[in-house]
Structure 1
Amino acid sequence: MVLLTTKIKLLPNMEQFKQLEDTMNSFNRACNRISKISFENKTYSKIKIQKICYYDVREEFKLPAQLVIRAIAKVAETYKINKKTFHEFRLDGAVIYDERILSFKGIECASISTMYGRINIPMQISSYHKGILEGKRIRGQADLILVDGTFYLLLVVEFPNDAPIKTEDVIGLDLGIVNIATDSDGKAFSGAKINNLRKRYARIRAKLQAKQTKSAKRLLKKRRRKEQRMAKDINHCISKQIVDKAVRHSSAIALENLNGIAKKKQKSETVIKSQRSKLSKWSFYQLQQFIKYKAEQRGVTVFFVDPQYTSQTCSCCGYVAKENRKTQAKFECVSCGYVAHADYNASLNIREKGYCQLAERRSA
């Protein structure tokens, strides 16, 4: 079973918008009050916090009982991560709903509990959302969020996995800056377009930041979200193509385990400032997660392998040396003379490590 989060736009009228906004503000003020009580009493357990402040918070903020419970749970969850500092919540932070205070009438209307009672709000459902929601189970909690003056529901939907495919091959995938991804069949997904756009956006950001006006700050926020949407769309397209290929060829997918890669690169004296910027901005982790969940849905196995020396190792003879990597694009083995595109050579090494994991799994 795969869990997917989908973002549904709500279409409240003016009165309903005000009711949702008031509820959101009260919910997060309640979170701040609960957080203060929890921190002062050094009490971080959901049940213990509830015993201390449930009735007082409900009376003070006029919230329905279950919204108070969800506010307590939200605070308790954040203190699981860090108990050393006081946690403060933005007034427009997400409101956490569960099945007691959120239900659906078909797939086009949501019944949402507010501090003014239940309200029925139409949802904007596209053909994409219909394909996701129809016949699927909406699981657990849902978040009500406010983005640029628009309310959305973040719903978690259960998807059944396809039957696992019989793996006959492995596709290795190397991630990089010039080419966002290169697979072991030689297919490269160029990053030239996105890098040029990022350079242009960086120049625009610099001009807006220099102005330091309110309107400039608003534009900066809009542009940041535009860049995020663009990167997300590209990652979706790349991941879909890779998983489709894996299904067609009955292949597993081998990816580099890139945990902490940005920090490692930033510490390296050989990485210039522009490269550090690109490494920190591109969503490699997001791309890998898209590949992972799409693969799980289609029954494709994904292996995460150690990326160490994949760019310095000759995929032909196995000789490892920094000198093998002549330039960003060119790989030439100083031992056997093998020449290839550097990203393609790295993808072959990643594929080989994927084969090793596949063999281990079969022998287990």
Structure 2
Amino acid sequence: MADTEYCRRTAVTGLSVSPTDAARLRELVDAWKRGCQLAVNEAWGVCHTRSEVQQLAYDRLREETDLGSQHAVLATHRAAEAIKRAREREGERPEFTTPTVAFDTRTMTVFDDHTVSLTTTGERVRCDLKLSDDGYQSRYLDDDEWEPAKSTLHYRDGEFTFHLGFRTPRPAIDSPTEGATVLGVDLGVENLAVTSTARFFGAGELNHRRDEFEEVRASLDATGTRSAARTLRQAGERIDRFVRQRLHEVANGIVAEAVEYDCELIAFGELSEAADLLPEAETYHEWLFERLLSFVEYRAAEEGVAVVEVNPEYTSQRCMECGFTHPQNRNLDESQFECLKCEASAHDDYNAAKNIAFRCVRRGPLSSRGLGAAACALQSGLVTPDDGFTPYAELSEAPRSD
């Protein structure tokens, strides 16, 4: 089954490790960092796909490190991912200093007694998982529907933690009929996402923390000491955790909105076009949009909601009330949409979200996937091409739940 056909979760646990096993795991961490760096050095400027980097660097890793065969493979894959990200961000050659190691089902075994066996550079070690008081990890450990998947060992301040991955096949989604209702979502820089039902997910804290991190990065890069590099790494890990948590919150909120308004479809502007239409967007925002879309897709699948992308061109300039389209309808300085023809006004991101939903309706069914929509959900009613706006109070079955 393809990787995209799984829903994934991560349960963070502590590890109870004996002094002997701790030494073995530290040796593995050191060998892993060295192996990843060797693979990057070998492939930088030459190739970046997993298969290419593995073919190029695997033999060297086996000769020059103590990594076992499967961990050598995983290290080349990790190097390929780092190279790809650096290329996308036009960054410098990656440096592997973070004390982490990737595991898969060949290099780890999770047992029913909540212990885990891990491959090292020597003998395997078996450790107790230290579960949190609320026991949220048990929801996956003790549920046969979730199987262990790619995981990561972390070492910090003398302690080991294990980010234990799980996966389960995505629920099958019945193709929405042509009478489906669609929720439109507009992506942006000031507001990460705005729905056609007028729910706003701000990006202020994300942007603020990123700006702070860039200032710290500039200062520490200028210092150039090992201590500065360690501090920078820790700061980067903190912001990564915050970003992931925020994206999960936004994704859950978008899907909750679709469920509340009985939407069978969620429509985004095509990511390949969305960033180009935002003059203030950077590579960082493109990455945010991609991650958010992936989070929404697997969360929506659990609720039986499909996710589609539509052409976002002119959605920020078109008036949802009368259809008049003009660049000057949008006041970028005030984030306001004011139609030059009918004088209708709204927040520009909200207007764009409604247009994205409406475009999904107007383009008709997608014959290749059997998806179609007849109405777009707004905060107070439905909009259809034929009937116009209908308040929920006038519908026989209001799509909004109590």
Q: How does 1:143-292 map to 2 (within 5 A)?
A: 143-146=152-155, 150-161=160-171, 164=174, 168-196=180-208, 214-251=226-263, 252-259=265-272, 262=275, 265=278, 271=279, 275-276=280-281, 280=285, 283-292=288-297
Aligned pair partner of 1:6 in 3, 10, 13: 10
Secondary structure, aligned partner of 2:248: helix
Unaligned runs of 5+ in 2: 85-92, 373-402
Q: Larger % of helix: which?
A: 1
Secondary structure, aligned partner of 2:366: helix
Label 1:77 to 1:194 Cα distance change in 2 as closer, same or farther (>3 A): closer
Please identify, of 204-213 and 306-315, the stretch whose mean Cα deviation from structure 2 is larger: 204-213
Answer whether contact 2:7 2:169 (CA < 8 A) is retained. Answer: yes
Whether 2:327 is the aligned partner of 1:322: answer: yes
Secondary structure, aligned partner of 1:317: coil
The answer for the alignment partner of 2:345 in structure 1 is 339
The answer for the alignment partner of 1:71 in structure 2 is 72
Label 1:263 to 1:147 Cα distance change in 2 as closer, same or farther (>3 A): farther
Q: TM-score, normalised by structure 1?
A: 0.74
Q: CA deviation at 1:258?
A: 1.8
Paired with 2:371 and 2:350, the residues of 1 have a C-alpha distance of 29
Secondary structure, aligned partner of 2:308: strand
The answer for the alignment partner of 1:132 in structure 2 is 140
Answer whether contact 2:38 2:57 (CA < 8 A) is retained. Answer: no
Q: Once superposed, which parts of structure 1, at least 4 consecutive aligned residues long, lie more than 6 Å away?
A: 31-39, 45-50, 76-82
Q: TM-score, normalised by structure 2?
A: 0.68
Could you tell me the percent identity over the aligned residues?
Answer: 25
The answer for the alignment partner of 2:90 in structure 1 is none
Q: CA deviation at 1:295?
A: 0.4
Q: CA deviation at 1:319?
A: 2.4
The answer for the alignment partner of 1:355 in structure 2 is 361
Paired with 1:96 and 1:205, the residues of 2 have a C-alpha distance of 26
Q: CA deviation at 1:223?
A: 2.8
Label 1:133 to 1:165 Cα distance change in 2 as closer, same or farther (>3 A): farther
Instruction: Give the aligned residue type for 2:360.
Output: G
Paired with 1:29 and 1:179, the residues of 2 have a C-alpha distance of 40
Paired with 2:36 and 2:211, the residues of 1 have a C-alpha distance of 40
